[in-house]
Chains A and B, each alone.
Chain A
Amino acid sequence: MRRAVIAFTAFMGGLVFLLAAPAWADGEALKGTLQNQGQPVNGVKISVVAEDGKPVDDATSGADGKWEVPVPKAGKYKVTLDTSTLPAGVALKFKDRSTLDVQVYEGSVRNVLFALAPAGAKGGAAPAADDGGTSFWDRVAQLTFEGFNLGLIIALAAMGLSLVFGTTGLTNFAHGELLTFGAMCAYFFNVVVGVHLVWAALLSVVIGGIFGYGQDRFFWGRLRRRGSSLVAMMIISIGLALFLRYVFLFFFGGEGAPFADYNAQPGVQVGPISAAPKNFVAMGIELLVLVIVGVALLKTRIGKAARAVSDNPALAASSGINVDQVIRIIWTVGGAVASLAGVMLGLSQNVSYQMGFQILLLVFAGVTLGGLGTAFGALVGSIVVGLFIQLSTVVVPTELKTVGALLVLILVMLFRPQGILGRRERIG
């Protein structure tokens, strides 16, 4: 039951962003994807009736849970899910919502959501209406766990962003696209080529590193040498982000899709926390990578050099550090780690062309909270942001949990603009 709620909230969260994706079709249509706990539900009949009561068309969800009904023109339609065609064990989450009134706008394809849940699950508007047997503290423990999970993913992404900012001063709005790139690579190897996800993820990390290296070698490095100003580079990064995002949309399409492996793992119960085993493994990997990067920053020569450049590039250069080489290594590692973060994000949500951009603001929140330009600040800030987002759902609706995190970002700016571990002089 708990898992159903989690799956549903994750699905809703994903849907918010999916709905935000513009539809590129010519004619008006209604469509949707039926999912029960992340698994597609097929063979369900959906019928569409126009406002004046004239039937338009029927559709049956396919093996991927998708259905689509083209409609003649923009306007209001009634969409009905035939509950008798639902497979055994699956029911509507809200019993009274088998018929939905939806508005279709000119030239757009309208997504219609029927929330499904295992039969017998209690319908509830929010996770607050959970099954009665769990206590408040169990719920907090569960949300803390999920918060750590999200926070670690944000931290992986934030590490690269923060170090790039520290060494080059670039506020890289295209960093989210590094995550999407990683997830898309893994998706390509996993689903299209058919490699197991573990190997696909490894390949995508390697390719992400090469992508980061290439970006610095052939793009940002060149711009730095030309003496492009920081604000110009920031807007260039927006251009790059737009470009990459629509390249992803072009090849991947506007819909989200899961990886081929580890899709429907039954949850395991550890103390008060229940989660799929993949989440525990993912968190282990994320922690391991963060520790390795952290130790490398503290102990190795190149890590010390990176921190020196981050502190003061001119001073670092004059004491014999090859600044350009250090920056290139940071871009390479940053790209690889961001790729990993993308794969992990794709594992816990779905792979979609907007995933990177959507999490980018949370990464910014984490980085600024921890202090721009500090590697460990980014780590602390990100985990705080992740925890805050999940725990805030105790009081705010799940759909607005991101709003809370972004508000915190603004409040940090107001009261402690240098962040938790940052220093005053950085904010200028």
Chain B
Amino acid sequence: MKHTLSVLVENKPGVLARIAGLFSRRGFNIDSLAVGITGDPDISRMTITVDAAEHPIEQVTKQLHKLINVIKITDLDPDNTVARELSLVKVGTDARTRGEVMQIAEIFRASILDVGRKSMTIEVTGTTEKIEALEQLLKPNVIEIVRTGRVAIERGEK
């Protein structure tokens, strides 16, 4: 089962290494990781997606809590969370296929960032499923994909 952990940390050198090291030491693979500052410049937020059975995720969050620079950890409830990621997809196109790719982009509410003679770069934002669906459609002609990690926030006023 995939878990999305939202982790507030002190913005101090070495914090990312401590957290990444802890996951690998305890046998977890990080699927995706996004780090950014919060409203308070002394505090950063890490959004970490990991694959885990229920029991070990509890163990790893407890171990995370033991890191001195970790302030708060939330294991986000997927039913009560909005999550997004962003993908930049470079697709090989020519005059013949350009129109079709633009149509697909429109359906996915993706925007076109760059058009060249033989390629086109699309920016798409959305859930993992949406991005994967788009990538699947474009797959035969994809030159390169660059994806961010997932960021997520709880619904409601909390």
Q: Do A and B bind each other?
A: no
